[in-house]
Structure 1
Amino acid sequence: MRCVISGKVQGVWYRAWTVQEAEKLGLKGWVRNCMDGSVEALFAGPADKVAAMIDLCHTGPRAARVGAVTAEDFKGDIPQDFRQRDDA
Structure 2
Amino acid sequence: MDKHCVNAIVSGRVQGVGFRHAVKKRAEELELAGRASNLANGSVEVTVCGETKKVDQMIEWLGQGPPAAQVTQVQVDNIDWCEYSSFTTD
TM-score between both structures, scaled by the size of structure 1 = 0.92
Alignment of 1:1-88 (within 5 A): 1-75=6-80, 77-85=82-90
The aligned amino acid for 2:32 is L
Aligned residue for 1:30, secondary structure, equals: strand
User: In structure 1, how many angstroms separate the alpha carbons of the residues matched to 2:15 and 2:50?
Assistant: 25
Where structure 1 has 5 or more consecutive residues not aligned to the other structure, the ranges are: none
Root-mean-square deviation (CA, aligned residues, Å) is: 1.0
Structure 1 residue 76 displacement after superposition: 5.9
Where structure 2 has 5 or more consecutive residues not aligned to the other structure, the ranges are: 1-5
User: In structure 1, how many angstroms separate the alpha carbons of the residues matched to 2:43 and 2:60?
Assistant: 17
> How many correspondences in the alignment?
85
User: In structure 2, how many angstroms separate the alpha carbons of the residues matched to 1:15 and 1:77?
Assistant: 19
